[in-house]
Homo-oligomer: A and B are copies of this chain.
Amino acid sequence: LIVAAALARLGVGPASRGPWAGKRVLVSAGPTRTYIDPVRFVTNASTGAMGFALADAAQRAGASVTLVAGPVELVTPAGVRRVDVETAAEMQAALENELSQGPCDWVAMVAAVQDLEIDGGAARKLEKAELLATLPTLGWRAAPDILAALTARFGRGAAPGAPRSRFLGFAAQTVEDGPEDRLQQELIRLGSVKLRAKGADAIFVNRVGAPGVGFASATNAGLLLARDGDAIAVRASGPPIAKAALAAWLLDALAATS
């Protein structure tokens, strides 16, 4: 009994027979914040639900999971190690810190990182008039592309022979409305471009504004594009399903690509 309990605590219980037993998984989740001053910031409506569901599912499947989370109102899944961050720079540093300690079987970049930064946000709360005068002159600039930076150092761009991590990106795409098969083709095209541009091993793409998909929804659906030699294999998750169910589907699909 004591041995069983110890094994269960080590995550080598019944799940140890599955494809994720003993694997190392790193997940980013939630939004980040770009501060204009100490109380105002630019962000998005990501709740972290998809990333937390994926971390939970991977842990249940036997993986050792670290979750780097932006500011969200969610409880840490049991057995998952959590690192909290607020800004894109903090998120990048936390992920690099984890990857510097050794490769991961999969790094799932689910976080909706703010893609702009501000050089020198104000150190104190601005009065309304100051705020308006300051906004256009703030040093707005593009945030570093975290996924591309990480794959270059720890993924497909790592030195030959060096141990490397595999990276799963997430991309919400804007696609003009149209017939279902046309939407799907366009998503595959946009996703394939992004997969290669970012040096990722797989990418999950879905459509901004599609019903039952994305930030504000309890459900999600999309396409998983994964490298298969020089080709790209496409798997469709089907109609929108609960984020926990989609997380389980994603893990199965990733395991099938391995």
What residues make up the interface of A, taking CB atoms closer than 8 Å to B?
A: 36, 38-45, 71, 73, 112, 114-116, 124-125, 128-129, 131-132, 135-137, 140-142, 172, 174, 208-209, 215
Contact of A125 among B125, B135, B136, B208 (CB under 8 A): B208
Q: A41-B42, A42-B36, A42-B41 are in contact. Are A141 and B136 (CB under 8 A)?
A: no
With A41-B42, A116-B135 already in contact, 15 other A-B pairs whose C-beta atoms are closer than 8 Å: A36-B42, A39-B44, A39-B45, A39-B112, A45-B71, A73-B73, A115-B128, A116-B128, A125-B172, A125-B208, A132-B142, A135-B136, A135-B140, A136-B136, A136-B140
Tell me the smallest distance from the CB of A139 to a CB of chain B, in Å: 10
Q: Which residue of B lies closest to A215 (CB)?
A: B39
Q: Which chain B positions have C-beta within 8 A of A115?
A: 128, 131
Q: What is the bound-complex CA distance between A120 and B140, given in angstroms?
A: 19
A118 nearest in chain B by CB position: B135
In the bound complex, what is the Cα–Cα distance between A42 and B116 (angstroms)? 12
Q: Which residues of B contact A44 (CB under 8 A)?
A: 39-41
Taking the closest CB of chain B, its distance from the CB of A130, in whole angstroms, is 11
**With a CB–CB cut-off of 8 A, which chain B residues contact A129?**
142
Which of chain B's residues have a CB closer than 8 A to the CB of A174?
124-125
Shortest Cβ distance from A123 into chain B, in angstroms? 11
Q: Give the Cβ gap from A165 to chain B, nearest Cβ, in Å.
A: 25
A36-B41 Cα distance, complex, nearest whole Å: 12
Task: From B124, B131, B172, B215, give the contact of A116 (CB < 8 A).
Answer: B131
B141 pairs with A132, CB closer than 8 A: yes
A131 to B115: give the CA distance in the assembly, Å.
Answer: 9
**A142 proximity list for chain B (CB < 8 A):** 128-129, 132
A209 to B38 alpha-carbon distance, docked (Å)? 9
Contact B124 A132 (CB under 8 A): no
* 23 residue pairs from A and B, CB less than 8 Å apart: A36-B42, A38-B208, A38-B209, A39-B44, A39-B45, A39-B112, A39-B172, A39-B215, A41-B42, A41-B44, A41-B45, A42-B42, A45-B71, A73-B73, A115-B128, A116-B131, A116-B132, A124-B174, A128-B142, A132-B141, A135-B136, A136-B137, A136-B140
